[in-house]
Chains A and B, each alone.
Chain A
Amino acid sequence: MITAKRMIKNLYRDSVSLMQFSEKVRALEGIQQASAVMATENNISLLVEARLLAEAVPPSPNDLLIVVEAQDESAASAALDAAEAMLKQKSADTAQGGPKKVPPRSIEMALETLPAANFVLISTPGEYAAAEAQKALQLGLHVMMFSDNVSIAEEIPLKQYARDHNLLLMGPDCGTAIINGVPLGFANVVRRGDIGVVAASGTGLQQVTSLIDRFGAGITQAIGTGGHDLKAEVGGITMLQGIDALAKDPATKVIVLVSKPPSAGVASNVLERAAQSGKPVVVEFIGADPASFSSGNLFGVKTLEDAAVAAVRLSQGQAVGEFTDALPERYSALAQPARETLNPEQKYIRGLFSGGTFCYETVLLLTQTLGKVFSNTPIRKEDSLPDVWKSQEHTVIDLGDDLFTQGRPHPMIDFRLRNERMVQEAKDPQTAVILLDIVLGYGSNMDPAGELLPAIRQAQAAAAEQGRSVVFVGSVCGTDSDPQNLSQQEKLLRDAGVLLTDSNAQAARLAAAIVSRR
């Protein structure tokens, strides 16, 4: 249980709404107690006595003091944000002095207010999402379904309807997309340019678009298909539509496709359609052999980073060139000094990931260089981690797996679980490298570095007690236009001793280089 407070300057609401307001805040998730009072000396001392305020604050009797008792920090800050927003809201209707308008309750009703709407973003619980998507499509609107837990049986008719009516249906389970420069769902703020992306993986899309931005280029559209699109039953309907749309789009010069390897039939349809696009298409089927689908205007690549690099080169009119598995000089220079801080017993990498595709790519790359890598989401069944709460040898964990998210926010938002696990790994005498992904953008935690740094210090302290230190390696997926600001986050992490690479793939390779004995 924790308490948190916020002072709102010079904001008056009549007493009736303050009381209703306290009740509303109390009803928010994870909130036990809430109170909103004028910040007078007597009220402050009353709140301290009631243990709703940790210590007295300077009184400012014309300001409103909101205090909450919450089960954790994130609930508290969410509640305070919600509270502030509620208070500051002044409905346009009240302002006109007319009768209150009913807020839109259905998509059709919303069209009365926003008649030029062209898009519906759905993030309701999965069981209701398909019905809302159907209504939206029937009303002629493009759709992104952020919701997951929508069955394939529901997905297929929706996608067929969308295709037949030339509408875009991204998802279900589409975590991110960027349409006309507007980030939707969990997405980064990426410069506009001439590269179009279609991706079946949310973090894959975020990595590729962020790296394109980092390398100085930009995107036209980033279309998410949702995780099931390339399954044989669905047949890649959205990806095929996406390829067609980008092929026709005059602003798009280069196309990038990102997915785990699709079933054979779907892959050949996708590649055929990509070949017909008449534009250079970079294909990243994560884990598949790039040579097997490179030909003509199709350029296969092996990592998400390579996909971004290839796309940027093509966009700048250069040749795609060759890609290598070798660690670039600037990173291998980091490996040697890091290796020297380790004792002989420290042999293993412990990867703690918040992005599913980052975890997947890391397992792939480490398996290639180090051999066996245990994971809760292994590529080979026999590498399944017996106890997900305890690492063994090289272990890479996806903390976004359902196993870990029961009753908790996603690890991109709530860092507690990963932070605890970092300290746990640091206490293991065999841990050499703790490998991380850090994801910025809308929807993610607003200050990941701020969340990680205390835990990194705590982990190092735990290791130091036993006469060791561990090496932290990671990559930050984001841009300088993201609300968290990429450069600032990277600086904070570097200053704390974290070895950062530009991409997830290079972080995996750097970690591997550190633990590979001479």
Chain B
Amino acid sequence: MVNQLFEQDLQVINVGLSSFAESITQTGGKALQLDWRPPAAGDRETGKKLAALVNKPEVDAANRMAFERFLSAQPVLIGVEPAKNAIPGLGEHMLLHAGPPVAWDRMCGPMQGAVIGAILYEGWADTQEAARNLAATGKITFAPNHHYAAVGPMSGVISPSMPVWIVENRDRGNRSFSNMNEGLGKVLRFGANDAAVLERLKWMETVLGPAMRAALQASGGIELRPLIAQALHMGDECHNRNAAASAQFFKRLTSALLSTSTPQDQIKQVLDFIAGNDHFFLNISMACCKAMLDAAHGVEHSTLVTVMARNGVEFGIRVSGTGDAWFTAPAPMVDGLFFAGYSQADAAPDLGDSAITETAGIGGFAMGAAPAIVQFVGGTPQDAIAYTREMYHITLGVNAGYTLPPLGFDAAPAGIDARKVVDTGIAPVINTGIAHKDAGVGQVGAGITRAPLACFEQAIQTIE
């Protein structure tokens, strides 16, 4: 091969002094200058570990297998059941929450508020005070949703009686779960826990949940990837904008719901509730992403990122080839637009399991398809396209099922490769809502943030 080089035109990638690229070009060679900086913020050990993984055949083979499982997933929304019946292993006095593990005393304001609300909702305590004490005594078991194949936006709290969506991946049979979206304003996921919130949760348990279960039974389940693909063509990115997907969902469900024995007045309540919430589909979108990514988890040597999630204190990721390990860093603040009357000072750090959408290649990764999102998260439609284009450089491939009209119907980038993130220093982009740092105030803005590189660097240190 050395002799082959002598017969080719010299084409040089120049890493370092740019004057060398110039002299190459001036003398008839071809040179491309890298915008190089030391990977892993200059940490040599991680840099060496990373170098060993680049183009490593075992890793590439593992990633091919993991990515193939991800792409072959056929997530179908099959039902709604109370969490205690649906989620295997969910025990008594157990509460699930968003992000990596976090103890009660370290939880952020909105999450503590949601925990108190869930305790009151379950009837484990009668007063706020008693609920708070109960949470602090250790009699409640807290665990991340992700340990139970579940996801939930913002504080993401799921308690045993709450109805959850059940998504089944028809390809590999794995199931995923998510709670149901309560709408905007004073809601549990932002830490609100007053009587109105609890009353709505009760209604969701007794009316919305059973109605959805019946409708899904009548319809035989809803294939989720075609629905998301269609929503992407209608200006959603299915994380922060779900207007089209929610409408599509409504369309598919209505006639099925009418064919059930649900009382007329309840059908009206349910349809009004769904029609009034443009984010109704978000939780389903998340469960769909979770089902696809769980299929790809657990492939030895794979550097595919299968979870990105935040608990309001820490940002955590999981990687296919590193089993149950979480790689965490402090949760970043979100750079965004604030609703009138609020500012960065009111914001909680990044929160929620909803970054599962970016992990699966929609949300921020498909932002180019959702120009209207910039009114909500800031920037210009050009910026949105640029974010999507940037993500192609850190992904294993594309998801041909999701195409993006503003990018000439290019397939969306998918499958974050932790190696590429560390090697390029390009962090995955996440576009997300911003919660008020105090419990119960609700959403105060929306914006764009990046997954902390430190998480990926730790993963690279660990992968074999």
Contacts and interface: CB of A to CB of B under 8 A. Distances in A.
Query: A contacts B directly in the complex (CB < 8 Å)?
Result: yes
Given A105-B393, A114-B32, A245 B23 contact: no
Contacts of B37: 105
A117 interface: yes
Please give me the 10 A-B residue pairs with the lowest Cβ-Cβ distance, nearest first: A123-B16, A442-B23, A131-B51, A182-B29, A105-B424, A103-B35, A106-B423, A99-B386, A134-B51, A166-B1
A146 B2 CA distance: 19
B14 A443 contact: no
B10 A119 contact: yes
Contact of A128 (B13, B29, B44): B44
Given A105-B35, A124-B15, A127-B44, A118 B8 contact: yes
Interface string A90-108: 0000000001111111111
A180 B6 contact: yes
Interface string A168-212: 100000000001111111010100000000000000000000000
B86 interface: no
A150 to B, nearest CB: 12
A101 B382 CA distance: 11
Interface of A: 99-114, 116-125, 127-128, 130-132, 134-136, 138-142, 146-147, 165-168, 179-185, 187, 189, 220-221, 241, 244-245, 248-249, 251, 442-443, 483
Nearest to A81: B19
Contact of A121 (B6, B16, B35): B16
A248 B1 CA distance: 11
A102 B17 contact: no
A138 B16 contact: no
Contact of B15 (A103, A120, A167, A249): A120
Contacts of A121: 12-16, 20-21, 24, 31
B147 interface: no
A245 B3 contact: yes
A206 to B, nearest CB: 14
B423 A105 contact: yes
B9 interface: yes
Contact of B393 (A99, A109, A146): A109
Given A105-B35, A109-B393, A141 B386 contact: no
Interface in B21-58: 21, 23-24, 26-39, 42, 44, 47-48, 50-52, 54-56
Contact of A106 (B17, B30, B420): B420
Contact of B10 (A103, A123, A179, A244): A179
Contact of A107 (B9, B13, B386): B13
A121 B1 CA distance: 18
Contact of A183 (B8, B27, B423): B27
A136 B32 CA distance: 14
Contacts of A106: 34, 36, 39, 420, 423-424
B423 A108 contact: yes
Contacts of A127: 44
A141 B13 contact: yes
A481 to B, nearest CB: 9
Contacts of B35: 103-105
Contact of A131 (B24, B31, B47): B47
A182 B10 contact: yes
B462 interface: no
Given A106-B39, A244-B2, 9 more contacts: A101-B389, A104-B13, A109-B420, A109-B424, A114-B11, A117-B32, A118-B11, A120-B15, A124-B38
Contacts of A131: 39, 44, 47-48, 50-51
B393 A138 contact: no
A179 B50 CA distance: 29
A127 B45 CA distance: 10
B364 to A, nearest CB: 15
A284 to B, nearest CB: 22
B16 A142 contact: no
A111 B13 CA distance: 8
B348 to A, nearest CB: 30
Nearest to B44: A127
B415 to A, nearest CB: 15
Contact of A142 (B2, B27, B54, B393): B2
Contacts of B26: 442, 483
A125 B8 CA distance: 29
B409 to A, nearest CB: 16
29 contacts: A104-B34, A105-B34, A105-B35, A108-B420, A109-B420, A117-B32, A118-B11, A119-B12, A120-B12, A121-B12, A121-B21, A124-B15, A127-B44, A128-B39, A128-B47, A131-B51, A132-B15, A134-B48, A135-B54, A140-B55, A142-B5, A166-B2, A179-B5, A179-B10, A180-B8, A183-B24, A442-B26, A442-B27, A443-B19
B6 A114 contact: no
B16 A146 contact: yes
Contact of A102 (B14, B16, B36, B389): B389
A135 B386 contact: no
Contacts of A130: 48, 51
